């Protein structure tokens, strides 16, 4: 694999080699997509055996979902409900499973001749790590997660496929982990360092961060939560949550407590902010950003994250699950994502003021193209984003649009930063050309605009390509 080095030396060679390898990589992606398409044709047959099964089973379980509370509490049931309705089922409803907190079941009915078939899709929402354990022991067909799969989980689940490949890792939506306080709390923004000191117990009084003279009361997700795992990685950076923090399995339960206590602080997924106030956060020298649809969609917001389904691949993937995953990525599925309060991956352009005069009169697309760690290769989301962008540009209203790709690198890259930034933008240009896009496309090196501290754990957010359109 060709590597990008944020520094002097081999940037030009990387770009040349990437141009050679790029078409091979995208050929493999195309072959994968064709394979998925063939699988989806076969998937249409999954309904045919339901009537026969209903003769002996009053309720047929189509597939099972387990894992993240963030995904499973609202989003997964909403997606499953919409999928079943599109597939011709009626009487779709979401019910709580008796005696099982944060466990739901989507029920639906299908009329096949004179036979009425009742189907169910159970959803257990007890934390991301439980989803991977359920995949491992076979008690779930989809693992819902609000964090990427860990190396240990990749090894444990190797029999199901390469869990970081497109066939196993499915990005459902973008979410922002919001740090929330009561609406009457005068504090409106904090650096991540202060958030870390608050939740680790180093700062215990609101007056230390510009608030009123009162003790800080902490609320945090539990250890099984992918939300907590994200917070631990992006904010705590090795520190431990104070033992005084009250812990929760549910985002909504945590948010309700913060909304009721003027001295409380907690962290939740975006749809659970409710009547609380989300703080603007800054990472080191970068400007403070509040979670919004644009800052989260572009992943510039310091605590933005991706939400996932993980599955088996190939012949081990049930046809109904393959069809459901195709629905999740469709326009109809992404509309459900937006309705559920998360940030969908449907594309649009937004008028934004830029300090860069070269972008005057242009609008910014709601995505950034990002790369695999230390590499010129696009990550899974960016591969799909290039396809989405190509589809967007192929529409009649955009075929003559002028595109400007603005590459950025970590400011610590040194004197070769501009060359490296431009090469990243050029790589995305090649990706669009390989998708058949013939719009005028410029590739530029961006000004040194940091969205994260160059020396922080989040420094990779600075390595990006922004999409501007006119």
Residue 213 has pLDDT above 50, yes or no: yes
Specify the pLDDT at position 357. Answer: 85
pLDDT top residue among 299 and 20? 299
In this prediction, residue 413 has a pLDDT band, given cuts at 50, 70 and 90, of: low
Q: What phi, psi does 295 have (nearest 5°)? A: -65, -30
Mean pLDDT of 319-325: 96
Concatenated DSSP letters of 321-356: HHHHHHHHHSHHHHHHHHHTTSB-----EEE---S-
- Quick: pLDDT tens for 398-408: 988 999 999 88
191 vs 205: CA distance, rounded Å: 16
Cβ pair 172, 345 in contact under 8 A: no
SS (H, E, C) 401-460: CCEEEEEECCHHHHHHHHHHHHHHHHHHHHHHHHCCCCCCEEEEECCCCCCCCCCCCCHH
Specify the pLDDT at position 54. Answer: 83
Specify the pLDDT at position 355. Answer: 78
Specify the pLDDT at position 315. Answer: 86
Percent of the chain with pLDDT over 70: 86
pLDDT top residue among 69 and 1? 69
Residue 314 has pLDDT above 60, yes or no: yes
Integer CA distances (angstroms), 414 to 8, 365, 409, 410, 451, in order: 7, 28, 10, 9, 17
In this prediction, residue 424 has a pLDDT band, given cuts at 50, 70 and 90, of: confident
The reply to whether domains 11-35+347-469 and 43-173+308-339 share a CATH topology is: no
198 vs 269: CA distance, rounded Å: 19
Percent of the chain with pLDDT over 90: 54
Domain over 11-35+347-469 is classified CATH 3.30.160.270: no
Extents of the domains making up the chain: 11-35+347-469, 43-173+308-339, 175-297
- Rounded to two decimals, the pTM is 0.77
Question: Where do runs of H (alpha helix) occur along 119-265?
Answer: 128-137, 151-156, 192-199, 226-231, 251-259
Residue 24 has pLDDT above 60, yes or no: no
Domain over 175-297 is classified CATH 1.20.1260.10: no
Q: Which helix (H) or strand (E) holds 96?
A: strand 90-96
Mean pLDDT of 60-79: 95
Pick the range with the lowest mean pLDDT from 27-31, 233-237, 315-319.
27-31
Specify the pLDDT at position 378. Answer: 76
Mean pLDDT of 369-393: 80
Residue 346 has pLDDT above 80, yes or no: yes
Residue 337 has pLDDT above 70, yes or no: yes
Mean pLDDT for the chain overall: 85
Superfamily of domain 43-173+308-339: Periplasmic binding protein-like II (3.40.190.10)
Specify the pLDDT at position 432. Answer: 94
- Quick: pLDDT tens for 99-130: 777 899 999 999 887 888 999 999 999 999 99
């Amino acid at each position: 694999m060709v590597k990008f080095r944020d520094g002097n030396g081999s940037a030009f060679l990387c770009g040349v080699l990437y141009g050679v390898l790029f078409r091979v990589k995208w050929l493999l992606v195309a072959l994968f997509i064709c394979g998925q398409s063939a699988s989806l044709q076969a998937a249409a047959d999954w309904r045919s055996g339901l009537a026969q099964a209903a003769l002996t089973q009053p309720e047929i379980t189509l597939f099972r979902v387990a894992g993240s509370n963030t995904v499973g509490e609202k989003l997964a049931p909403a997606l499953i409900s919409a999928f079943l309705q599109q597939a011709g089922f009626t009487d779709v409803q979401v019910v709580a499973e008796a005696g099982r907190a944060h466990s739901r079941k989507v029920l639906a009915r299908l009329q096949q001749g004179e036979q009425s078939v009742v189907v169910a899709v159970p959803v257990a929402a007890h934390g991301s790590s439980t989803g991977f354990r359920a995949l491992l022991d076979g008690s779930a067909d989809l693992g819902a997660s609000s964090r990427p799969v860990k190396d240990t989980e990749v090894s444990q689940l190797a029999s199901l496929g390469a869990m970081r490949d497109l066939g196993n890792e499915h990005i459902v939506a973008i979410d922002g982990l919001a740090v929330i306080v009561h609406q009457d709390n005068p504090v409106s923004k904090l650096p991540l360092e202060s958030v870390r000191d608050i939740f680790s117990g180093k700062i215990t009084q609101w007056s230390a961060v510009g608030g009123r003279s009162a003790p800080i009361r902490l609320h945090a997700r539990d250890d099984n939560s992918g939300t907590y795992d994200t917070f631990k990685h992006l904010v705590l950076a090795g520190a431990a949550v104070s033992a005084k923090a009250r812990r929760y399995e549910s985002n909504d339960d945590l948010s309700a407590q913060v909304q009721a206590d003027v001295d409380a602080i907690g962290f939740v997924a975006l749809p659970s902010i409710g009547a609380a106030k989300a703080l603007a956060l800054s990472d080191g020298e970068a400007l403070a950003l509040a979670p919004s649809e644009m800052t989260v969609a572009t992943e510039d917001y310091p605590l933005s994250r991706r939400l996932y389904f993980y599955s088996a691949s190939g012949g081990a993937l049930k046809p109904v699950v393959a069809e459901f995953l195709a629905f999740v990525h469709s326009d109809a599925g992404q509309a459900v994502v937006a309705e559920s309060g998360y940030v969908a991956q449907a594309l649009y352009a937004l008028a934004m003021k830029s300090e860069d005069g070269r972008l005057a009169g242009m609008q910014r697309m709601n995505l950034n193209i990002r790369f695999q760690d230390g590499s010129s290769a696009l990550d899974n989301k960016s591969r799909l984003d290039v396809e989405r962008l190509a589809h967007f540009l192929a529409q009649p209203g955009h075929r003559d649009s002028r595109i400007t790709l603005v590459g950025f690198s970590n400011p610590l890259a040194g004197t070769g930063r501009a060359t490296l930034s431009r090469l990243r933008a050029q790589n995305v240009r090649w990706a669009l050309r390989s998708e058949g896009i013939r719009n005028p496309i410029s590739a530029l090196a961006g000004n040194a605009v940091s969205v994260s501290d160059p020396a922080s754990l989040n420094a990779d957010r600075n390595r990006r390509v922004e999409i501007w359109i006119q």
